[in-house]
Structure 1
Amino acid sequence: MTQSLIFDMDGTLFQTDKILEISLEDTFNHLRSLNKWDTVTPIDKYRQIMGVPLPKVWETLLPNHNNEEREQTDAYFLEKLVRNIRSGKGALYPNVKEVFTFLKEHNCSIYIASNGLSAYLKAIVSYYNLDKWVTETFSIQQIESLSKSDLVRSILKKYDITNAAVVGDRLSDINAAKDNGLISIGCNFDFAQEDELSQAEIVIDDLIELKAILPKLENMYLTNK
């Protein structure tokens, strides 16, 4: 049976934490220089909502700013993120490439479904040569609803996938699996929250665990039907 795994990017494959704080600090320093921010950078608040689409991020972090200011901030932040990725300040989680190699050797198709923007995802995929393993990377920008569930559904439809698991660290990933009748694999990594992970069918502490889980997925697919 051909299997498919759909991975989240931030906090699952890519250690966003390594570039998040410096990029956010740069962005809010920029706002301070424009006299549009006069307090501390809300890094903790961002950590709490990590995984939601960026438009909703800026609604939360900049509640008193207008949409134009949020869009300008979003563009500046994206520029800083991409620059930090290309300068090598980020990192993949341990064992990503080893696991991807294993999955491909076992006839498994790999996709990425992320709430990140296309330019950001492209920078990561390009810098780490992930397209060597990944069939296609999908951004939330491709879906009008900004719903991870709808994004995953579009992957299933495009590639005629019936058996798959969604691998991610946040509730949006777990719900994307459930809403599409897929298996949910929660990643207990940096941004994960215990109450969200409790809703996943499987929880892992390291991506290397997928090597042992893969043979068990076929029976789980049959159980889920």
Structure 2
Amino acid sequence: MSQAIIFDMDGTLFQTEKILAISLEDTFNYLSSLNQWDKETPIEKYREIMGVPLPEVWEALLPEHSIEVRKQADSYFLQRLIENIRDGKGELYPNVREVLRYIKENNYSIYIASNGLTEYLNAIVRYYHLDQWVAETFSIEQIDTLNKSDLVRTILEKYEHSHGAVVGDRLSDINAAKDNGLASIGCRFDFAKDDELLQADQVVHDLIELKAVFPIEKSIQSELSLL
């Protein structure tokens, strides 16, 4: 049975930074037009919390606003993100296609597990044709707990995997790997934090390094399965 290699999306496969600032600026300009915002766009605050589920994002960015206003912001932000993806303003990280192709050719099963919303994730997958390598993309929307560990567990149970790795840039990805008995591969990219990456089994600075990592991980996991 093949092993599961589960990738995060934002800050791991997709350079969210390319469309983040403009989409967030559009959203807060929209709130301003509704007389719901009169300050600068809190882009730095968003970068600090990047990777958490969107409901938590709006709680942090709009702590004094109503749930209704947060929902308006969430809906408009998602719309702008998707439009910017479709307009080609986003970008994958270097070597994504080469690495996904290599991993699939070496008989690993590839999945995406993200805190992003389904519509947003599907826009990225479709635009960059990632589905030629990725078996299925999972959104945090699909589970009630909004916990990345539970999302990864959903993948393992659905496809009957017991070995593999989670590749991501944040602590939630690392914990999701550990909570499910998988190897954790940290990506030192745009939103990564050094203190979080210290908890990963391995850290890469470029996805191309995964071509060396996964055969080693596969061997280690095979040995562990015999114990």
Tell me, yes or no, whether TM beats 0.5. Answer: yes
Deviation of the 1:223 alpha carbon? 4.3
Runs of 4+ off more than 3 Å? 222-225
The residue aligned with 2:20 is 20
Can you list the C-alpha shifts for 1:171-198, whole angstroms capped at 9, x where unaligned?
0000000111110000000000000000
Amino acid paired to 1:173: D
Matched, 1:69 2:65: no
Can you list the C-alpha shifts for 1:83-131, whole angstroms capped at 9, x where unaligned?
0000000000000000011111111110000000000000000000000
Can you list the C-alpha shifts for 1:4-23, whole angstroms capped at 9, x where unaligned?
20000000000000000000
Deviation of the 1:168 alpha carbon? 0.1
Amino acid paired to 2:107: N
The residue aligned with 2:190 is 190
Amino acid paired to 1:211: K
CA RMSD between the two structures? 1.1
Deviates more, 1:22-31 or 1:214-223: 214-223
Q: Secondary structure at the match of 2:41?
A: coil
Q: Secondary structure at the match of 2:35?
A: coil
Q: Secondary structure at the match of 2:72?
A: helix
Alpha-carbon distance in structure 2 between the residues aligned to 1:33 and 1:165: 45
Amino acid paired to 2:18: K
Alpha-carbon distance in structure 2 between the residues aligned to 1:123 and 1:5: 21
Alpha-carbon distance in structure 2 between the residues aligned to 1:135 and 1:165: 15
Can you list the C-alpha shifts for 1:134-178, whole angstroms capped at 9, x where unaligned?
000000000100000000000000000011100000000000001
Alpha-carbon distance in structure 1 between the residues aligned to 2:44 and 2:97: 30
The TM-score normalised by the length of structure 2 is 0.97
Contact 2:9 2:112 in 1 (8 A): yes
Deviation of the 1:219 alpha carbon? 3.5
Alpha-carbon distance in structure 2 between the residues aligned to 1:22 and 1:140: 24
The residue aligned with 1:144 is 144
Contact 2:170 2:192 in 1 (8 A): yes
The residue aligned with 2:84 is 84
Contact 2:164 2:218 in 1 (8 A): no
Alpha-carbon distance in structure 2 between the residues aligned to 1:56 and 1:94: 29
Q: Secondary structure at the match of 1:177?
A: helix
Alpha-carbon distance in structure 1 between the residues aligned to 2:219 and 2:201: 13
Matched, 1:214 2:214: yes
**Aligned positions of 1:146-185 closer than 5 A:** 146-185=146-185
Percent of aligned pairs with the same residue?
Answer: 68
**Aligned positions of 1:108-123 closer than 5 A:** 108-123=108-123
Alpha-carbon distance in structure 2 between the residues aligned to 1:68 and 1:38: 18
Alpha-carbon distance in structure 2 between the residues aligned to 1:3 and 1:109: 6
The residue aligned with 1:54 is 54
Consecutive unaligned residues in structure 1, runs of 5 or more = none
The residue aligned with 1:103 is 103
Amino acid paired to 2:213: I
Amino acid paired to 2:34: L
The residue aligned with 1:132 is 132
The residue aligned with 1:10 is 10
Deviation of the 1:220 alpha carbon? 3.0
Deviation of the 1:132 alpha carbon? 0.4
Deviation of the 1:30 alpha carbon? 0.5
The residue aligned with 1:204 is 204
Alpha-carbon distance in structure 1 between the residues aligned to 2:194 and 2:183: 18
